[in-house]
Chain A
Amino acid sequence: MVKQEKEFVNRPDNTAFTQQRLPAWQPMLSAGIIIPGFVLIGLAFIGIGVALFVTSQSIQVLEVDYTGVEQSSPCFKCSDPDVKNCVCKMEFNIDSLFKGPVFFYYGLSNYFQNYRGYGVSKDPNQLSGDLDSFKVPSDSCAPYEYVGKTPIVPCGSVANSMFNDSFKLYQIVSGAKIQVTLDGKGIAWWTDYNVKYRNPSVTPLKNAFNGTVKPTFWSKPAYELDPTDPANNGFINQDFLVWMRRAALPNFRKLYRRITEGDYAKGLPAGNYSLEIAYNYPVLSFDGRKKVVLSNVSWMGGKNEFLGIAYLVIGSMCVVMSIVMLIVYAKFKFPEEE
């Protein structure tokens, strides 16, 4: 007994773990797996690619640039920064039914919402309805923090630079203009509207903004953004929310309205249309562009030719590779006899 015990004092444990004998799966890139695998992946990708490409082809997109750079453009006169409250009209034509629901976007290019200094220039506490931050906005809002000594609400560059062109769309039916109803509900993220941005719980909302000023670029204070719908004001105004969700890339488009109601719920019929633009937002100073985009969507979202083509390319490359590998494998067979 003693002998045995003594002998085992220092003997390491004989377990699969300590002896590195844990059962293990040892995968091997064998031809039997790789070549069929490549073929399968390739076929799958080609299949998906075809589906994506076909779907994407069926999506209609219409873009109208209204920056007014060219003199011929109806908006040329408005592009002068000195002109105020300018309205211009862009006419366009739809050949065939633009299937609904149609989405109405505005697009900006060469616009750096993703600039770091721009992105941090806001006060999350203020935007979540914290009244203390109304009095003392966060430093990150600088230089849109105070006007004199009065705090700006909502403070910061992002809010200050909110897009403020507005659009009306008319169908011209035998000379008469029929307004296309634009639906502005639910165009922002659900979480932004319900969780992230909160108005202070003060009624009327206006009182919460006592002792503050509106952002310098704004024509109306936050609590009067939408005169038609009192619930669409303050920080939970849909257009404000859409603007505040900043874009990842310098060329972007943001949802402005949906065309889902009335006669146009099925889509925009063929015909002539007139877009009436309240031109307020200056972009020419930094060589930016403004446009309006009408688009419908499919199960995979908006028009996206890249995805389909990329799938097709990768899929066919996989198939080609599998053939190459098969040839190589046949020629330089893995040495079996060694």
Chain B
Amino acid sequence: PYLCEERRVRANDREYNEKFQYASNCIMTSKYNIITFLPVNLFEQFQEVANTYFLFLLILQLIPQISSLSWFTTIVPLALVLTITAVKDATDDYFRHKSDNQVNNRQSQVLIRGLLQNEKWMNVRVGDIIKLENNQFVAADLLLLSSSEPHGLCYIETAELDGETNMKVRQSVSVTSELGDQNNLSSFNGEVVCEPPNNKLDRFCGTLYWRDKKYTLTNQNMLLRGCVLRNTEACYGLVIFAGPDTKLMQNSGRTKFKRTSIDRLMNTLVLWIFGFLVCMGVILAIGNAVWEREVGSLFQSYLPWDPPVDNFLFNAFLSFWSYVIILNTVVPISLYVSVEVIRLGHSYFINWDQHMFCSQCNTAAEARTTTLNEELGQVEYIFSDKTGTLTQNIMSFNKCSINGQTFGKYPLGPQPKRLDFTPFNPLADLDFCFYDDTLLESVKVGDLHTQEFFRLLSLCHTVMSEEKSEGELVYKAQSPDEGALVTAARNFGFVFRSRTPGTISTTEMGRPATYTLLAILDFNNIRKRMSVIVRNAEGRIRLYCKGADTVLLERLHPCNQELTNITSDHLNEYAADGLRTLALAYRDLTEDEWEAWSESHRCADKATDCREDRLAAAYEQIEQDMMLLGATAIEDKLQEGVPETIAVLSLANIKIWVLTGDKQETAVNIGYSCKMLTDDMTEVFIISGHTVQSVRQELRSVSLTGRTAACPPSSWSTLPCPPPPPPPPPPPPSNLMDNISGEFALIINGHSLAHALEADMETEFLSTACACKAVICCRVTPLQKAQVVELIKKHKKAVTLAIGDGANDVSMIKSAHIGVGISGQEGIQAVLASDYSFSQFRFLQRLLLVHGRWSYLRMCRFLCYFFYKNFAFTMVHFWFGFFCGFSAQTVYDQYFITLYNIVYTSLPVLAMGIFDQDVPDHRSLEYPKLYEPGQLNLLFNKKEFFICIAQGIYTSVVLFFVPYAVLSDASQSNGVPLADYQTFAVTTATALVIVVSVQIALDTGFWTVINHVCVWGSLGSYFTIMFALHSQSLFRIFPNQFHFVGSAQSTLLQPVVWLTIALATAICIVPVLAFRFLKLDLKPQLSDTVRYTQLVRQKKRKPGRLGARGGSRRSGYAFAHQEGFGELITSGKNMRLSSMALASFASRHSSGWIDTLRRKKHTSAQHLGGVQSSTQLCLWVSSSTLKLLLCSGRLTRYTY
């Protein structure tokens, strides 16, 4: 369909392009300008139902027959709310304006009539040719025309676009790359016809028509806005999409607005309250009708009906609206604003938290959305990415076993000394860390096994090297594991220097050596090993093999039996530590053996059918009878505190699912090392079927095993097996969970997941997965990640949290209730899509257990109290209605009604909502069980809500009838009766303010200075304002407004009034106190107990069950490795071009890009101290057309 709509762009022809009126390159993310701000913003705000409702009330109040309150009682709060929101919107928009301006005013060089002119970005047009220089941002979506690099290549970094930090290559169409300089380009008049603007970052299709020829254009020819040009001196591009049409802008925005469950509950409750309000209005209106007919009609001599209202039914109708106005305070407008203020406060606390500040990355946690905080206290499922989230994606050579001897013990002591390799080996990598000097000694004394071990590591790999100047080596490894191994060999004196298709050059213990590379027996997932066959300088042929111990140990020569046993023990040890292990072996080959095998290999290689199988068979044939050298253990470095965090979170009854794009082995390994999987588990199920049937079968067998394995079958009933939407399981007592003998884990592969997520199997999958303690989904696509999250959201009614760091996590971050981005690792895409961001996984426990829990607690307490206080306030009018002829007479002074919600009672409850704590932060980390009330929604739900409003109604009854009973016959000591309206109003209002203040004092569990100021200040302000409003001086100025002159004084001087207030307070509060005390005694919550022990006992208790470790022998060729590199190397396909490209860098730029980066790294390392800054290099294959092997520096974040 997009063909019917297409975009035509002719280079260097503004007139032609203007015909189409393409968007200019000026972007505008701001919503308002100075003139439109007020109308537009007000229009937006009145789209909120609540605001319109209050506007409606305001209009009603202008009708004199209805107006039961003066107009300002509504307009003051409404104006306040609108103003606060408007100020917030204006500030936000101001910053958007600022950033828009900054971006729009960036300079770019545009080729106009053969000359390069500086133009602002916003003035760049579609069809212009612009010149980009190194490290510049790409101004618009460009078609790459030519570049300073050979073959029209140029390199870009797309971090801002898709979050990937590795460099990418783009190449221009060959005809345009020959154009070269400006003169030729200015006469270029090719026309591009392409698809209309869309948001697909990875595809572009179009055609270039030039000189009567057609050239196909793909994404490979495009430079997208938001990318940065790297390592390319300059390039020229033709603007295809500009401004809002660019893929960057097309991808931005459209963020789904997330609401918390409390929000939704609140909206439901507000609707209910609204219904309740209408009911009360109806009751009172009926009352009014009856009253008017029975009493009012007879009372007309004193109180005639208004001429237009000469009918009791119509009167009742008006009275309904009057009561709606009066009683509207049950749905207080300040509710929404207060909730926002509280959430904002909590967000600031998150931003300010020093415990979530990572000094290595210099990043603090950031609450990017301010509307989700309390949901952090209700999370039940966490979906975590692996790489970069659980792990640092840094591999380090940690331990090794050589000839039955293990090395790499981590020395005890506070400041272990790192080995310094430089005196021994000038080529050593300075970033390499190792602590065990016995290994170095062993190399130095020339232990043959040790030397052979490292020789293997320096030869058996597919790493590419680059040597700028003598000794400055940079390895570009396909996987970080391999890089770590080669780097280890380098530091221990076996330095891999360079390779050609047929040779490998090394420096061994300071002496250069060259090996002839005879064959690479490449890695694949089935073989789980790789080998090289090399001929050394003496002409001896040797096969070096490294691979998963499971496969390698089977292929050893029988004489290795004893060594194998020892090494196996070591492997077990390593695996228990969560390390990734590899076994190393070699085999000497005679010339004849080699010749024979070489021949069969050639045959297999040339075979047209079943080439793969034949090759594998050939490899199998020679990888036999090998001699074991030892084993390596590589640590896939977990982020700090990951196992502890996971342990704490699972104690808090949060289920953690790992969703990773990684291989199964890697994922399982990490599962073990972060203690998600343990050996205590009854069984770890792996589902990796490729068909619907097999997946179904596997799932069934899992649930079957689960049921039979469970020791006491009754307790296993928590496993929600067949019912399609399993009800949220009741909170199992913690000890019951422990009693279940079977703990299961589920590991599912991406392709199986695709079947499991289909509609007919998803409930089965869900019930199985939810019964398992740990779930790991590997090899999943970003879309599947989101699907899994949606599945849980759909069926479980649980709050989900997704945490990740890369662009592939964006979909899951967006679809989860709460998205958390790990900042400072890969790009910023995940962070941009997230609601919260911080730089270490371990901060999650603080975010949830401390901030989330507090937020939830505070919000719940806030809501309970808020509804209570408004019911207590408003319902008094209802009772009064029965005594005033249902005439919508208010009980209180109108100023009191105006100020009650915004002045007299707002601050104490806000202070509680922002600052309250039931237990201190370290306690909630020590007792993760404290988190459970949030997950079970215990603190604020419909039941709690009814309790609050029941209490509110009870209070209102007391507040009306106690003054009624006391004052109706009472008189002042001078004989003046106290039953006049104003005295009654002041008494009731004062009693109300005192009762709700006492109530908030009871509800506040954490009295900081601010709480004191707010509570006492509110009480003080009530009396001050009341005396001011009832003062004579104010009355003299506005006699028409202040009818209550003198009431405060006259009323509050009466002892009877105070006795009444005290009585009312006692009747309201004493039952609450008694109830709370009894509840505390009979049914204490865990938080009460913790608080009690904290406050009374000051006893410390260690949290149990943490840090239980276990390990089993697991091994895997856990490389994030791909097949095919061996072939690339031996064929030399990658050498020529890449070394050419690198050579051209080296020759033309005295400081190539890697240099630049390295230098930056060093300076930043100096500056920032421990900035984690390992340069990881990886190889990747570029597009199929080029078959280039390019190197790209993959760097952790730098501040430029």
User: Interface on A for B, CB 8 Å cutoff?
Assistant: 2-3, 6-7, 9-14, 18-20, 22-31, 34, 38, 41, 45, 48, 52, 101, 103, 105, 110-119, 124-125, 128, 130, 139, 142-143, 157, 160-161, 186-192, 195-196, 245-255, 258, 282, 285-287, 295, 297-304, 306-307, 310-311, 314, 317-318, 321, 324-325, 328-329, 332-336, 338
From A157, A196, A295, A325, residue with most partner B Cβ within 10 Å: A196
Name the CB-closest residue of B to A19: B354
Task: Find out whether the CB atom of B964 lies under 8 angstroms from the CB atom of A249.
Answer: yes
Which of A11, A19, A22 contacts B1009 (CB under 8 A)?
A: A22
6 A-B pairs with the lowest CB-CB distances in the bound complex, closest first: A191-B1046, A248-B984, A103-B975, A18-B352, A302-B971, A116-B887
Could you tell me the distance between the alpha carbons of A160 and B304 in the complex, rounded to whole angstroms? Answer: 11
- Interface set, chain B 146-161, CB cutoff 8 A to A: none
Residues of A within 8 A of B304 (CB): 143, 157
Q: Is the CB of A310 within 8 A of B1063?
A: yes
Q: Is the CB of A20 within 8 A of B915?
A: yes
Q: Which B residues touch A187, using CB under 8 A?
A: 975-976
Report yes or no: B1081 in contact with A248, Cβ–Cβ below 8 A. no
Known: A41-B1070, A321-B1074, A328-B1078. A124 touches B1039 (CB 8 A): yes
Quote the shortest CB–CB distance from A297 to chain B (angstroms). Answer: 6
Known contacts A115-B885, A304-B970, A314-B1063; A252/B976 CB under 8 A: no
Does any Cβ of A come within 8 Å of B1082's Cβ? yes
Measured in the bound complex, the distance between the Cα atoms of B1167 and A45 in whole Å is 72
CB-CB under 8 A from B302, the residues of chain A are 111, 118, 157, 160-161, 286
Sample of 16 A–B contacts (CB below 8 Å): A18-B354, A19-B352, A23-B1008, A28-B1091, A125-B1039, A125-B1040, A248-B967, A287-B298, A300-B1056, A301-B973, A301-B1054, A302-B969, A304-B1056, A325-B1074, A329-B1081, A333-B1081
Of A249, A295, A301, most buried by chain B (CB within 10 Å of CB) is: A301
Question: Is B1045 in contact with A143, judged by CB distance below 8 angstroms?
Answer: no
Min CB gap A157→B, angstroms: 6
Interface core residue of B302, B1076, B1168 (most chain A CB under 10 Å): B302
Contact assessment for A301 and B1096 in the assembled complex, using a CB-CB cutoff below 8 Å: no
Additional A-B contact list (9), CB under 8 Å, known A18-B348, A196-B1046: A14-B354, A114-B981, A187-B975, A245-B980, A252-B977, A287-B298, A307-B966, A310-B965, A328-B1078
Q: Is the CB of A306 within 8 A of B1096?
A: no
Given A3-B1168, A299-B1055, do A286 and B298 touch, yes or no (CB 8 Å)?
A: yes
Asked if A332 and B1081 sit within 8 Å, CB to CB, the answer is yes
Cα A303 to Cα B357 with chains together (Å): 68
Whether, in the assembled complex, B728 has its beta carbon less than 8 Å from a beta carbon of chain A, the answer is: no
Residues in B with CB closer than 8 Å to A328 are 1078, 1081-1082
- Are the C-beta atoms of A12 and B354 separated by less than 8 Å? yes
B860 to chain A, nearest CB (A): 18
Question: In the complex the two chains form, is A303's CB within 8 Å of B969's CB?
Answer: yes
Could you tell me the distance between the alpha carbons of A128 and B1036 in the complex, rounded to whole angstroms?
9
Least distance between A298 CB and chain B CB atoms (Å): 8
B263 within 8 A of A: no
Please judge, given known A-B contacts A24-B1007, A29-B1077, A157-B303, whether A300 and B1055 are in contact too, CB under 8 Å: yes
B37 CB → nearest A CB, Å: 32
Q: Which residues of A contact B1092 (CB under 8 A)?
A: 28, 30, 334
- Closest-by-CB residue of B relative to A306 is B965
Q: Give the interface size class of chain B.
A: 35 or more
Query: What is the 8 Å Cβ interface bit string for chain B, positions 1069-1083, against chain A (1 contact, 0 not)?
Result: 010011011101110
Chain A nearest CB, measured from B787 CB (Å): 36
Which residues of A lie under 8 Å from residue B457 when comparing CB positions? none
Q: List B contacts of A113 (CB < 8 A).
A: 981
Q: How distant is B62 from chain A, measured CB to nearest CB, in Å?
A: 14
Pair A317/B1005 contact, Cβ less than 8 Å:
no
A295 touches B971 (CB 8 A): yes
B307 touches A143 (CB 8 A): yes
| A325 lies within 8 A of B1078 (CB) | yes
| B residues whose Cβ falls under 8 Å from a Cβ of A | 64, 68, 295-296, 298-299, 301-304, 306-307, 322, 348-349, 351-354, 357, 359, 362-364, 854, 883-885, 887-889, 915, 917, 921, 962, 964-985, 1005-1011, 1032, 1035-1036, 1039-1040, 1043, 1045-1046, 1049-1050, 1054-1056, 1059-1060, 1063, 1066-1067, 1070, 1073-1074, 1076-1078, 1080-1082, 1084, 1089, 1091-1093, 1095-1097, 1166-1169
- Complex Cα distance A115/B299, Å? 11
Asked whether B884 lies within 8 Å of A115 as measured between CB atoms, the reply is yes
Contacts of A254 in B (CB 8 A): 977
A142 touches B1078 (CB 8 A): no
Report the separation of the CA atoms of residues A18 and B1039 in the bound assembly, to the nearest whole angstrom: 48
What is the bound-complex CA distance between A247 and B977, given in angstroms? 9
Of the listed residues A6, A118, A302, the one surrounded by the most CB atoms of chain B closer than 10 A to its CB is A302
Q: Which residues of A contact B974 (CB under 8 A)?
A: 186, 297
Question: How many whole Å from B915's CB to the nearest CB in chain A?
Answer: 7
Residue from the list A6, A112, A142, A306 in contact with B1167, Cβ < 8 A: A6
Contact in complex: B1070, A117 (CB < 8 Å): no
Contacts A246-B980, A300-B1055, A338-B1089 given; indicate if A112 touches B884 (C-beta within 8 A): yes
Do A103 and B971 touch (CB < 8 A)? yes
Cβ contact within 8 Å between A307 and B1060: yes
The answer to whether A190 and B1046 touch (CB under 8 A), given A115-B303, A310-B1063, is yes
Q: Judging by beta carbons under 8 Å apart, are A255 and B977 in contact?
A: yes
> Which residues in A have their C-beta under 8 angstroms from that of B1055?
299-301
Q: Is the CB of A334 within 8 A of B1006?
A: no
- Tell me, in angstroms, the Cα distance from A304 to B1032 when the chains sit together: 31
The answer, among B64, B296, B976, B1091, for a CB contact under 8 Å with A26, is B1091
> Given A22-B1009, A306-B965, A314-B1066, A143–B306 Cβ distance below 8 Å?
yes
- Cβ of B1036 and Cβ of A6 under 8 Å apart? no
Smallest CB–CB gap between A214 and chain B, Å? Answer: 16
A142 to B359, CA, bound (A): 75
Q: Is the CB of B68 within 8 A of A116?
A: yes
Beta-carbon nearest neighbor of B1063 in chain A: A310
Chain A neighbourhood of B980, CB < 8 A: 245-248, 252
Which A residues touch B1009, using CB under 8 A? 22-23
- Look across to chain B and name the residue whose beta carbon is closest to the beta carbon of A103: B975
A334 and B1074 form a contact (CB under 8 A)? no
Residues A307 and B1063 in contact, CB atoms below 8 Å apart: yes
Complex alpha-carbon distance, A26 and B1088, angstroms: 12
Smallest Cβ distance from B885 to chain A, in angstroms?
Answer: 5
For A192, the chain B residues whose CB sits under 8 A away are: 1046
Q: Are A27 and B977 in contact (CB under 8 A)?
A: no
Shortest distance from the beta carbon of B573 to any chain A beta carbon, whole Å: 38
CB < 8 Å neighbour of B1080 from A111, A297, A334: A334
Report A-chain residues with C-beta under 8 Å of the C-beta of B352.
12-13, 18-19
* Interface contact A26-B1007, CB-CB below 8 Å: yes
What residues on A are CB-neighbors of B1084 within 8 Å? 334-335
